[in-house]
Structure 1
């Protein structure tokens, strides 16, 4: 239906109850008005390269006047002229938006790029799309703030491949200089350098992935340079309690805390960590990371199981408990006055176990942090000749390749069901873990062997 281009004719057009209705004006081919229940918009429609394009000209106010109508008509004529020249207004709008976005991206600082990456949802594995855990965000901020401090306020697009290579080399050199001061072997490597580069690469990739521009904001060549300098196999800390010293460590933990503040908490918590391979935060909690300490509600003394909630890979992890560990927790439960498993006789929970493992070092010279105990558990498990898949289940690991030395650097693990093809075929039931757990416990709590000369085992 053709209508006159006048205030009276336009105001007389009825509004539809729903949807939209388009009326074309007698003056100006392709010039019309789109009316919805709540709005009126002048539009212009033409074909370009065989594709129909309908673009808005302007909104129509209730109190329009002759001046407004003349300006709208002139705008429609301008669009008609663009179409006649072969200019696609839709494509042109996208191009200008992309240019503006690209220009804005060139001003994004490295600090902002890291912040955007830290705030973005998890990109892969279990919990994909959910927010990164507080510990991961803190780790990003700590590592990048330390190793890219001088770059943080530079535009991320100004970072060159040579800058990246030089910075990685500097971090490695600093690590070796520190080793030299402490008379340690120089390695020419740095786990911190590689981790810093992995975060840099992730932030750059996130900038490209979140851009609507077909051309990447950051050149792939630069990101490949980051990958090359920071793709070494992660360096793992090998420290653990040597097998020959485990009996002495157990005896020191069992007898060395009498009369000390939090003594019985240190004793039981350290033994629990050694016998389960659990992570410190899963047992003692972490207010900083939002983890509560292990509660009695997650310990089933009848079924002899313990469940760690919302673990590092975002899943609950249930383990069977051996006989001695169950007996230890039964005794602790009898004396408990709190919902928290590892609390003292008044319900207090220590903020750290450092006082415990540092005291053991003063007694027998063996320094073993909670994560060292996790490595010790894994090392003992490996001695039991159990399958890799049982070991992964016990440690709640989700990577295809299990490195019993350490798992501290795995912040964004793949889902265990996607770890590798073989694992999809091997089904390990919960009961399959009971015997291995008991064997590990028996080995850790064994009595020290005595040589013919009466010397107890101490060698690694």
Structure 2
């Protein structure tokens, strides 16, 4: 067999040896319609069992022979990628590997590949998994992982199997002084990436009927040695650093609502945004992307967050926990929204909170930090971050004595798979009543705002806002 013979082989033409009357043999190509076939190379310089397989998807060099009493077969390479001489040399190397290990060289290579995975390989594969999974990871999660990976940049080319527990602990200790939260996050990302590699290797090994070559995750030592903070320790650290600061309805909440209300004339969009973010208990990025349902079509509504004034409902599409969320709109929030729709600066925009500049990349309001700073200073509050509005909402729900399942539902902490917390259509009125109680408790800390937004028909409060007991 030579290169010319290999190139002429096809599904419709199969080479055959034909003897002439004088006894001389030559290669002829007869018609063939029997599907794929293998032609073995009988050349003296060819290893035994080497040949060419012709199939529907192309031609490949293969080896099929008994190794240690067991018939094995593997692909050496594609005909288009190797000459026949190169394929013979590669086949000889593969046969030696097969004799040494008792399995095909392909299997040896697969096992070696898993055993030689670097930490960088694990991060690359994990990122690809997060992007391609359904649903894909949020951009913030990918950014967080990238920051975590940067803490191990010098280990990108280091094999996972070469990482010892001591190395992991030493690296963790070195990262902590710059920020314990960042150090824990980085190591958790690395742990998740390696776990993913171990899982993939286990599945591949099972399908190939071999033992996995990557089974141990060295980052597990941080959990084993209890180096991560517990929930109680996290809570203490947050309190000490002032990271979580829900407002107190009996102290500074009323001052904050008043300060926001005073900003409505100068910055109606920003003030309304802060008020509704609090009244809905939403994350800043969730509230900012809400659109008017009556100003978008059904196709856009299917993948957008919106408020429906007629149905008195706010809907969040694909929030942080990937579970779509909807809440009833209580009377005061509804009145505020109707005024925005009829008279507000965004009355021609699809966004409930449109951006001030027409050159905005997103089109919607996105940065409340400056306004929040002025409001905080006016209210005499030392520390207050946007997410503290959501924490305030949750705190007041607890003060009102709402069941834990209700608070989970209001904050969208309920997972779709959680069958213990189920809200039917019949429960919507109950949820609406509790949203109204929350609204009364929040705005009641500054009666001027409550009176200005409460519809005339609801002149008398349905609950005693001075008393947060259920």
TM-score scaled to structure 2, two decimals?
Answer: 0.68
CA-to-aligned-CA distance 1:1-40 (integer Å, 9 cap, x gap): x964889665334332x62245789999978765446866
Q: Equivalent of 2:400, from 384, 398, 409?
A: 384
Distance 1:34 1:447 in 2: 82
Distance 1:167 1:57 in 2: 43
| 8 A Cα contact 1:201 1:227, kept in partner | no
Task: Name the residue aligned to 2:166.
Answer: 162
* CA positional deviation for 1:276: 0.2
Distance 1:144 1:38 in 2: 40
Q: Which structure 2 residues correspond to residues 49-448 of structure 1 after superposition, within 5 A?
A: 52-55=71-74, 91-99=104-112, 102-103=115-116, 105=117, 108=118, 110=119, 113-121=122-130, 128-145=133-150, 147-148=151-152, 151-153=154-156, 155-157=158-160, 158-175=162-179, 190-211=180-201, 212=204, 214-217=211-214, 219-220=216-217, 222-228=218-224, 229-234=226-231, 235-236=234-235, 237-244=243-250, 245-259=252-266, 263-284=267-288, 293-297=289-293, 298-335=306-343, 336-343=347-354, 349-366=364-381, 367-398=383-414, 416-419=415-418, 422-423=420-421, 426-429=422-425, 431=428, 432-447=430-445
| 8 A Cα contact 2:278 2:392, kept in partner | yes
Partner SS for 1:315: coil
| 8 A Cα contact 1:4 1:25, kept in partner | no
Change (3 A) 1:327 1:94: same
Change (3 A) 1:82 1:135: closer
Q: How many residues align?
A: 385
Task: Report the aligned-residue RMSD.
Answer: 4.2
Change (3 A) 1:34 1:11: farther
Q: Which structure 2 residues correspond to residues 448-459 of structure 1 after superposition, within 5 A?
A: none
Distance 1:154 1:42 in 2: 33
User: Which structure has more RCO (C-alpha within 8 Å, separation ≥ 6)?
Assistant: 1
| 8 A Cα contact 1:195 1:230, kept in partner | no
Task: Name the residue aligned to 2:301.
Answer: none
Distance 1:340 1:73 in 2: 67
* CA positional deviation for 1:440: 0.8
Distance 2:259 2:369 in 1: 15
| 8 A Cα contact 1:307 1:316, kept in partner | yes
TM-score scaled to structure 1, two decimals?
Answer: 0.69
Q: Which runs of 5+ in 1 are unaligned?
A: 176-189, 285-292, 399-415, 450-456
Q: Which runs of 5+ in 2 are unaligned?
A: 1-14, 206-210, 236-242, 294-305, 448-465
